[in-house]
A and B are shown apart, each in its own frame.
Chain A
Amino acid sequence: MLKQEDNALICLVGPGTPMGKVMRRYWHPVCTSAQLPTPDSDPLRVRLLGEDFVAFRDSHGRVGVFDELCMHRGASLALGRVEEGGLRCLYHGWKFSVDGTLLETPNHDDPKYRARMKAPAYPVREEGGIVWAYIGPKERQPEFSRYAFTQSRPEHRVVLRVNVQCNYLQLVEGGEDSSHVGVLHTNMARPGWKEKDFKPNTDLVNPAALSTDDLEPALEIEDTEFGFHYVALRETQQQGVKNARVVPFIVPYGRVIPSPAFQFTVLEVPEDDTHTSTYIVVHGEAPIEAETIIELLGLDDSRYYDRGTSTFTATWADAFGQDRQRMKAQSWTGLRGVEVEDAAIALSQGPLYDRSKEHLVPSDRAVMRVRRVLLDAVKRLDEGVEPPGVGVDLSRVGACDAQLPDGASWRALMPGHRALAVAA
């Protein structure tokens, strides 16, 4: 439960807001590499933290991210021409290179004028199938935080973007909430539920494939340099052995979810206060197809997901496609796939969830910790303390699902996670 003031403090991310200032200290995904498929392909409008930008790939394959509106008289550069090593505004033909250099100003053809000016272009990296940008204060630009998936082979990786019309935090919370997996994702987590007979899901790709049907996991949390990680400990059939699922929370909105053979890195990037781009990156040690993941997530139906615009389109107009006949027969939720279930739940909380009326329980402890970490970050930045995890190397941050004998430490399962020293 959060007071409405505190809720606003961590949910609102526009320019000048306290959380907006925290967010602007990190690198953010602005689009997938696939959305700018080839040199000189169409420019793309992108929205990030309540601001509008244009992204484009020039003739040499380099990517640029600018403020959307042309520096001359504010026409949208998303209407522009991408050609001959730059982006050209349609209105008066000003042309810019990816780093913001003015290449041409046809209606004022003075080289000295051009040399004095620079377009509002932002630092850009392209890593792991994602275009990343830094839009914060120049003097604070951190090291680029490299996730583990950026080092995997492209054929061992699938990158998806899903635009969802709600605030980022309710999507983040669904990801730091192990106890919902065995309920909301019942059909994948507990395939024998209908007969009350637990049969583990044998799909090596599915992140909701639990190895036990214990619905009351015990949670333990430890602070780390990137935020925190927590474990959900579930009883197993075997005496003296628990199932341990360790999931990190990477400030400000990242997580990694384990499936038996792959890691699902999920980044809930705020477009604005009520729109979020969820980036789901699946990677592992074996080849994986986008179609497999799209089907697993339930996004293989154009009524619910528009692949052209990467948008989750299901709404209350058709109850998110919930099929109540199937609910009676074999489907717990009547929804299709992991992401459709997660997104429908988040959307059902409203565009920006009011946390002043809820009733949290011990299995929501990781959710409470997310809120506390974010509130602390906001309050401490206001006092001049830099946010946690900025510029940290994330290449050894991941998740696991393992059997843990009693007495063994779950913390040892993830040696790449650097714990913070516990205050005395």
Chain B
Amino acid sequence: MLSKQDNELMCRVGPGTGMGDVMRRFWLPALQSADLPQPGGDPKGVELLGERFVAYRDASGRVGLYAEACLHRGSSMRLARAEPDGLRCIYHGWKFAVDGQVLDTPNVADPKFKQRIRGRTFPVREAGGLIWTYLGPAQQQPEFPRWPWMDLPDAHRINAVAVENCNYVQVIEGLVDSSHLTVLHASGLAKTNGSDMDFAKKTSHMQFDAAPFIEAEETDFGFHYVAIRPAGERRMARVASFIAPCFVANPNGDLWFAVVPVNDERCNFYHVWWNAEKPIGEEPMRTQQLAFVGLDPETLAAYGMSAETCDGPAAQRWENGYGQDRALQRAGHFTGLASFTQEDAACSISSGALRDRSSEMLSTADMAISRLYRALLGCVRQLKESGDLQSLHADTARIAGVSAEIDRDQDWRVLVPHHKIAAARTTGATAA
């Protein structure tokens, strides 16, 4: 439960907001590399943290992220002409390279003028199938983070994104909430029986225990938490990590998420699967994985969860019953929704575009949820008080999600030896 004031502070990310300032200190995914397939192709509109930008890949393959408004008189660079070395505004023909260099200002006679000014572009890096940007103050720009999957060849990785029409915190809540899996995803988990997919093998056991033992702890990067379920004589421990401000390492160990706010009431939910041994990014493995969780293009379009369809009639909303198929449900499916992604989204979106947390009733099973609120609000406070954020300094390459069997009296923390745990902030309980 949060006061209205704290809820606003945690959820709103526009320019000048507390959480917006926090977000703007991190490198964030702005879009997927696949969204700008061609050198010199069409520029693309991108909304991020409530601001609008235009992304463009020049003829040499470099990506630029431009503020939407032209430097000169503010017409949209989304209408600009894509030329080999930069974007040219169609209004007066000013041309900008991806790094902000001003290449041409046809209506200014002075040849030195263009050397004195600089276009409004933002730092961009391309890694792991994602195009990342940093929107914060230039003098505070942090080092570009390395994640374990970034150095693998494209064939060993699957990238996918779903657009959800709700505040980003609601989506992250679902990612640090082990106890809903057994219930909401009952039908999906049932399909894991006998499946050969790694994903299926790693999640199958969750069908049978809706009240795992849960423990959460503050770490330098945010927090990690464990859900422990009995496994015969031993115990199955699933550890998930939340990395501020909006990243999650899933316990499966090969799945990473970023939940990036598009604006206060919409977010991009990025998924990365990776496997150093197997080329999972190749067919048929890629489509098999995506279809299993409802991230294949057809299912995303059917629920209005792609950039092209998220404003359309299919987008999950009150008016269309969130896309639920009651006939399918009567026929035995638990939810009547296509798969994991649509089930999670229906719960996130149906609680409101920016849900009110002043009247919820959290239980011990929601320990990681309250920990999430504390971690996010802690970031806002930390930045205000110290001008810095602890999680900016965490070594992202060593942050893990883990799922493994442990002995009855073994400490689950042996699974995450590299995590720096904050002192005396541990909380734990068994969900009733």
Give the interface of A toward B (CB within 8 A).
Answer: 173, 179-180, 182-184, 215-217, 316-317, 319-320, 322, 324, 327, 332-333, 335, 341, 344-346, 348-350, 353-355, 357-364, 367
Q: B72 touches which one: A216, A341, A358 (CB < 8 A)?
A: A358
Question: Which single residue of chain A is at the shortest CB-CB distance from B120?
Answer: A357
Residue B327 CB within 8 A of the other chain? no
21 contacts between A and B (CB under 8 A): A180-B107, A182-B106, A183-B107, A216-B106, A319-B79, A320-B79, A333-B79, A333-B90, A335-B79, A344-B79, A348-B75, A349-B75, A350-B74, A354-B74, A357-B69, A357-B74, A358-B72, A361-B107, A362-B108, A362-B109, A364-B73
Task: Give chain B nearest CB distance to A3 CB in angstroms.
Answer: 15
How many residues on B have C-beta within 8 angstroms of the other chain's C-beta atoms? 25
The minimal Cβ–Cβ distance linking A117 to chain B, given in whole angstroms, is 47
Contact status B71-A359, CB under 8 Å? yes
Q: How far is the CB of B56 from chain A (nearest CB, A)?
A: 12
Kindly provide the distance from the CB of B42 to the nearest chain A CB, expressed in whole angstroms. Answer: 5
Complex Cα gap A217–B74 (Å): 21
- Return chain A residues, CB-CB under 8 Å to B45: 316
A363 x B79 contact (CB < 8 A): no
- Within the complex, the shortest CB–CB distance from B114 to chain A, in Å, comes to 10
In the assembled complex, the CB of A357 is this many whole angstroms from the nearest CB of chain B, namely 7
B72 touches A361 (CB 8 A): yes
Q: Looking at chain B's contact residues, is the secondary structure mostly helix, strand, loop, or mixed?
A: loop
- State whether B107 touches A363 (Cβ < 8 A): yes
Chain B residues with Cβ below 8 Å from A183 are: 90-93, 106-107
Q: Is the CB of A332 within 8 A of B78?
A: no
* Contact, CB under 8 Å: B69 / A359: no
Chain B residues, Cβ within 8 Å of A350? 69, 74
Which of B71, B76, B92, B93 makes the CB contact (< 8 A) with A348?
B76
CA–CA, A320 to B45, complex, Å? 13
B81 contacts chain A at the CB level, 8 A cutoff: yes
| B324 contacts the other chain (CB 8 A) | no
Residues of A within 8 A of B92 (CB): 179-180, 183-184, 363
Q: CB-CB < 8 A to B42: which residues of A?
A: 324
Residues of A within 8 A of B108 (CB): 216, 361-363
Q: For B93, what are the chain A residues with a Cβ–Cβ distance below 8 Å? A: 183, 215
Chain B residue with the shortest CB-CB distance to A342: B91
Whether A215 contacts B106 in the complex (CB less than 8 A), given A333-B79, A345-B79, A361-B72, comes out as yes
Nearest-Cβ distance from residue B14 to partner chain A, whole angstroms: 14
Query: Could you say which residues of chain B place their CB within 8 Å of the CB of A182?
Result: 106
Residues of chain B within 8 A of A324, CB atoms compared? 42, 82
Q: Which residues of A contact B311 (CB under 8 A)?
A: 317
Residue of chain A at shortest CB distance from B77: A348
Determine if A359 and B72 form an interchain contact, defined as CB atoms under 8 angstroms apart. yes
Closest CB in chain B relative to A255 CB, distance in Å:
17
Set B78, B81, B91, B117: member contacting A180, Cβ < 8 A: B91
Which residue in A215, A316, A341, A358 is a CB contact (below 8 Å) of B74? A358
Asked whether any CB of chain A lies closer than 8 Å to the CB of B144, the reply is no
- With A345-B91, A367-B73 known, 6 other A-B pairs at CB within 8 A are A179-B92, A183-B93, A216-B108, A333-B81, A349-B76, A358-B71
B105 at the interface (CB under 8 A from A): yes
Interface residues of B in 51-108 (CB under 8 A from A): 69, 71-76, 78-79, 81-82, 90-93, 105-108
Does the CB pair A184–B69 fall under 8 Å? no
Residue B113 interfacial (CB < 8 Å): yes
Q: Complex formed: what's the CA distance from A183 to B109 in Å?
A: 15
Within 8 A of A (CB), among B305-335: 311
* Bound: A360/B113 CA distance, A: 12
Q: State the B residues within 8 Å of A (CB).
A: 42, 45, 69, 71-76, 78-79, 81-82, 90-93, 105-109, 113, 117, 311
Q: Which residue of B lies closest to A349 (CB)?
A: B74
How far is the CB of A226 from the nearest CB of chain B, in Å? 25
In the bound complex, how far is the Cα of B77 from the Cα of A350, in angstroms?
A: 12
Chain B: which residue is nearest A345 at the CB level?
Answer: B75
- Give the distance to chain B from A387, nearest Cβ to Cβ, in Å: 26
Which residues on B sit within 8 Å (CB–CB) of A335? Answer: 79, 90
Residue in A322, A354, A359 whose Cβ sees the most chain B Cβ within 10 Å: A359
Report the nearest B residue to A353, measured CB to CB.
B74
Partner of B107, one of A215, A333, A349: A215
Q: How far is the CA of A394 from the CA of B93 in the complex (A)?
A: 34
Complex CA gap A316/B91 in Å reads 17
Known: A173-B73, A349-B75. A361 touches B113 (CB 8 A): yes
**A184 near B91 (CB under 8 angstroms)?**
yes
Chain B residues with CB below 8 A from A322, complex form: 79
Contact B73 A358 (CB under 8 A): yes
Of B82, B107, B113, most A-chain CB atoms within 10 Å = B107
B102 (CB) vs chain A CBs: closest residue: A359
Complex Cα gap A73–B42 (Å): 55
Do B109 and A216 have beta carbons less than 8 Å apart? yes
Q: In the complex, are the beta carbons of B117 and A345 less than 8 A apart?
A: no
The residue in chain A whose Cβ has the minimal distance to the Cβ of B108 is A361
Select from chain A the residue with minimum beta-carbon distance to B88.
Answer: A183
In the complex, which of the residues B45, B69, B117 has the most CB atoms of chain A within 10 Å of its own CB atom? B69
Residues of A within 8 A of B76 (CB): 348-349
For A367, list chain B residues within 8 Å (CB): 73
- Residue of B with least CB distance to A346: B75
Q: In whole angstroms, what is the CA distance A317 to B78 when docked?
A: 12
- CB of B357 to closest CB in A, whole Å: 32
Residue of B nearest to A322 (CB): B79
Shortest C-beta distance, B258 to chain A (Å), equals: 26
The 3 A-B residue pairs whose C-beta atoms are closest, nearest first, are A348-B76, A179-B107, A183-B93
Across the interface, which residues of A come within 8 angstroms of B82, CB to CB? 324, 327
- Chain B residues with CB under 8 Å of A364's CB are 73
For B79, give its contact among A317, A348, A355 (CB under 8 Å).
A348
- B149–chain A nearest beta-carbon distance, Å: 33
A349 contacts across to B, CB distance below 8 A: 69, 73-76
Nearest Cβ on chain B to A288's Cβ, whole angstroms: 28
Contact partner of B73 (CB less than 8 A), chosen from A332, A333, A344, A360, is A360
Alpha-carbon separation in the docked complex, A184 to B89 (Å): 9
**B48 CB → nearest A CB, Å:** 16
Q: How close is A183's CB to chain B, nearest CB, in angstroms?
A: 4
Q: Which residues of chain B are near A215, meaning CB under 8 Å?
A: 93, 106-107
Q: Which residues of B contact A360 (CB under 8 A)?
A: 72-73
> Smallest CB-CB separation from A348: which chain B residue?
B76
Q: Shortest distance in angstroms between B163's beta carbon and chain A's nearest beta carbon?
A: 16
Residues of A within 8 A of B106 (CB): 182-183, 215-216
B113 to chain A: which residues have CB within 8 Å?
A: 361
Interface hub of B42, B73, B107, B108 (most chain A Cβ within 10 A)? B73
Q: Which residue of B lies closest to A215 (CB)?
A: B106
How far is A40 from B42 in the complex, measured between Cα atoms in Å?
52
B52–chain A nearest beta-carbon distance, Å: 9
B69 partner residues in chain A, CB cutoff 8 A: 349-350, 357-358
